[in-house]
Amino acid sequence: MANHTGRRETIAQPDSDLPWWRTVTRYQWFVFAVVSGAWLFDTMDQRLFSLARIPALADLMGLPAGSLEVQAFAKTSTALFLVGWGIGGLTFGALGDRFGRVRLLTISILLYSVCTGLTALCRTPEEFAILRFVTGLGIGGIFGLAVAIIAETMSGAARLAMLAGLQVLSTFGNVGAAFVKMGVDTLGAHGWIDAAHGWRWLFAIGALPALLAILSALRLRESDAWLKLKADGQLPKGVFGSYGELLRQKDERHNLLIGTLLAVAGVVGLWAIGEYAVDLQHAVFTGWFSARLPADQVAAAVASAKNWSFMLQMAGGAIGMWIFSWIAARFGRRPAFVAGFSAALIVTLFVYWRLESPADAYWMMPLMGAAQFSVFAGFSIYLPELFGARTRGTGVSFAYNLGRFAAAIGSFGSAYLTTHLYGGLPAPDPLRFSAMTMCAVFLIGIVTALFAPETRGRALRD
């Protein structure tokens, strides 16, 4: 078959007797490597920000890390980051449908990597906040563009496996950020770098994905489906014309609603509930170690236990996403989402109810990670199947990133429950019961999945 450069390329044809990886061409592997690498470093950047924001602002503001001023500005910076993330997602998907997914992916990678590198050089907290907002724009654009590119480049079982693999690699990005932080801390502890400015090294390392942008610009090409639309003059009209098309067509509106509700349930569940696990662990571990260790050893023991809990949670998340993918391929997308959200509801309630020690966390957190992260594989697999080639980037980006705004609202809701409704309870019960109350969001995912169109075995709507 001829590609848009005029050269002919050999595409391996699906064969039920061959494992999916035997049907993938060299170029398709290259696409997966670059696009999934962009998402891996995207998630690593997110985690690096979480790890470095307090030390960075304390240094820039010249105040202790625990001061109210630093904590308040950290929340402001995080809010700006999330808002930029949401705006970037809602914008770059539509631009990709109009001007090309590869082109906009390249711009997104450059934007978040260059701004992350510039963050290492900032001199004021205001510069820090502005750079994180712009970084969020680039980060928000990656997911919708990445899954649209992979979905339109692969087919059959290979498409499902690689879209699932894209999300599995997000856990590697999170773990990679933790190892980078540990490495920088070790260098600082030995005096090989200035420990007080270790956060600058973290952000400098976050600039490395710019190399992926160069590869993307030089080697990746637009999918045949997008190129055909362009040749036929069928691309969305106007910069944000794809939104008009999504809203005008009844089936597209229905699918947009389904995809958005599923993503909102999953993203709120992870960010407005799952993030509370760290706070609960800190409270539980501090009490547990304080009763067993000298006071000067407690902080280090708590930090180590939290690190192990996080690593195990990410390992569980990767396993959960592969299990979701197997159910989606064997039984269908709808039962996979019902199973995933049901598991998230049951396991999360149990963990917040029963977590009492580090030993509990070491087996509970992998289970919670598997349950909560499982549905994120579904977002990669299912969302691009809901939309046609003309609006795929817009639909996926809108559904996935609207959840970011919902997660911000959910975080405020969680904070209100913790400080007001359950604020009179002894610590850490306010954290426990606010998170358990927020678990009701998983019911939205379960109910929505029951009405979701089944796409298993169907070709993409191109």
**Residue 445 pLDDT grade (very low, low, confident, very high; cuts 50, 70, 90):** very high
Buried b (16+ CB within 10 A) or exposed e, 406-434: bbbebbebbeebbeeebeeeeebebbbbb
Closest residue by Cα to residue 133 from 186, 176, 78: 78
Of 4-18, 58-72, 251-265, 337-351, the range with the lowest mean pLDDT is 4-18
What percent of the chain shows pLDDT beyond 70?
A: 96
**What is the reported pLDDT for 4?**
42
pLDDT classification of 16: cutoffs 50, 70, 90: low
Per residue in 420-438, pLDDT (tens digit) is 889 888 888 888 998 999 9
User: Are 265 and 442 a contacting pair, CB within 8 Å?
Assistant: yes
CB 9 within 8 A of CB 25: yes
Q: What residues does 2 pair with on adjacent strands?
A: 8
User: In whole angstroms, how large is the CA radius of gyration of the chain?
Assistant: 22
Of 147, 137, 199, 136, nearest to 170 by C-alpha is 147
For all residues of the chain together, what is the average pLDDT? 90
Tell me if 325 sits within 8 A of 269, measured CB to CB.
no
Higher pLDDT, 404 or 357: 357
How far from 396 is each of 191, 380, 389, 391, 400, CA to CA, in Å?
46, 9, 11, 9, 6
371-390 pLDDT tens trace: 999 999 999 999 999 999 99
Segment 68-109, tens digit of pLDDT: 788 788 878 887 888 898 899 999 999 999 999 999 999 999
150, 159 Cβ separation under 8 angstroms: yes
Domains in the chain: ranges and CATH: 20-232 (1.20.1250.20), 242-453 (1.20.1250.20)
- Give this prediction's pTM: 0.88
pLDDT (0 to 100) of residue 160: 93
Which residues are within 8 A (CB) of 94 and not within 5 positions of it... i.e. 6 or more apart?
236, 239, 240, 241, 242, 243, 393, 394, 397
Amino acid at 436: M
- Judged against a pLDDT cut of 90, whether residue 284 lies above it is answered with yes
- Phi, psi torsion values for 2, nearest 5 degrees: -90, 135
